[in-house]
A and B are shown apart, each in its own frame.
Chain A
Amino acid sequence: MGSAKIQRLAQIDKVIHEPARLMIVALLSAVAEADFQYLHRSTGLTKGNLSVHLSKLEGAGYIKIEKSFRGKYPLTICRLTKEGKETFDTYRRVIKGAL
């Protein structure tokens, strides 16, 4: 394995590399959009924990969060931004190259 590939591991995005956030980003990359409840149920994270991670991802500009309603049901819809997609793609490439 090339040492350059391993050295690139040091440059991976720390925001995405955290396992819980990585799981959220991976889930969001597989769908067009999902709400808080779906992410909460799929990841198994507590609501508080999920909320904190979503805020960090939103702060980094990797996801976009929108509040809306479907009938009387409030939705907190999350989707990956273009930057989030690119960062996740880069992350995957680096990890796959190093493993």
Chain B
Amino acid sequence: MKPSFLQEVEADPDAVARRLMRIAHNRDGLPEIAIGTILLTTAFLIWLQVAYPRGSFAYQASWWGMMLLMMPMIGGSPWAIKWVRRRFLIEKTGYVEFKTVPKGLLIVVTCIAFVVAAAMAWAVHLRALPPSGWLLAGTGIVWGLLAAYAGRLPRYVVGGALMAAVGICLGLSRVSFEIGSLILYGSMGMLSLVSGCVVLLHFVRMPSEETD
């Protein structure tokens, strides 16, 4: 350990613990695989709306998929990651049980998500959405910033910057919101999935001495 790191531990042990946990959490690439799967599923559902006419079974299925599939996928991904780690990777990752999230916080986050979703649905109903260019650029920037902030590792920062850049480019182009979203979520989902798989393969193939 370096002296500066030791000083950091003494000055703010909580921050160091959070950083170490973040590095450990992202070491096997599973979070990126989960994010990539969610983004690609979103892109697939958008593609159904782009490729099939309104009222068709595929078009209806995409709306039902958006409503019924996305929230369980997002909410269930931490459990899926935990299950895979404990089932297949426990010898390399080790065992950890995180503290349960306080119920109050869960309720607040759920309420905020519900209000945002309701506001967006209302805006769509009233056709009061901003121009699609703004929406695409905003989506790319917001998700890019979130990815960089949540991961705070170089590959997350690069991925977040790419997502923001793709969003801005799509926003400046004359592409429709649906096609733009399809390109944004599809490309970022693929990037995240490939990046996660590469990290996971590297992690699995690494001798125990090195992963240790």
Q: Do A and B bind each other?
A: yes
Residues of B within 8 A of A29 (CB): 14, 17
**Residues on A with beta carbons closer than 8 Å to the beta carbon of B92:** 37
| Cβ-neighbour of A34 out of B86, B90, B94 (below 8 A) | B94
On whether A70 and B94 interact (CB within 8 A), knowing A23-B16, A26-B17, A44-B1, the answer reads no
**Total number of A-B contacts with CB less than 8 angstroms?**
90
Given contacts A19-B6, A23-B17, A41-B211, 8 further A-B contacts (CB under 8 A): A29-B14, A33-B96, A33-B97, A37-B90, A38-B95, A41-B27, A41-B94, A42-B24
- Tally of chain B residues near chain A (CB < 8 A): 29
B1 and A70 form a contact (CB under 8 A):
no
Give B102 Cβ to nearest chain A Cβ, in Å: 13
A40, CB-defined interface residue at 8 Å: yes
Q: Which of B84-134 touch A at CB < 8 Å?
A: 86, 90-100
A-B contact pairs, 26 of them (CB 8 A): A19-B6, A19-B10, A20-B1, A23-B9, A23-B13, A23-B16, A26-B14, A26-B16, A27-B20, A27-B21, A29-B14, A30-B14, A30-B21, A30-B99, A31-B99, A32-B100, A33-B96, A33-B97, A34-B95, A34-B97, A37-B95, A40-B212, A42-B21, A42-B24, A75-B95, A88-B13
Q: Using known A-B contacts A40-B212, A42-B20, A42-B21, determine if residue A22 contacts B13 with beta carbons closer than 8 Å.
A: yes
The 4 closest A-B pairs by CB, nearest first: A38-B94, A37-B94, A26-B13, A26-B17
CA A44 to CA B199, docked complex, whole Å: 19
Bound: A39/B20 CA distance, A: 10
Q: Does A25 contact B (CB under 8 A)?
A: yes
Is B11 interfacial (CB-CB < 8 Å)?
A: yes
The answer to whether the Cβ of A77 comes within 8 Å of any Cβ in the partner chain is: yes
**Known A-B contacts A30-B21, A38-B24; A25 and B90 likewise in contact (beta carbons under 8 Å):** no
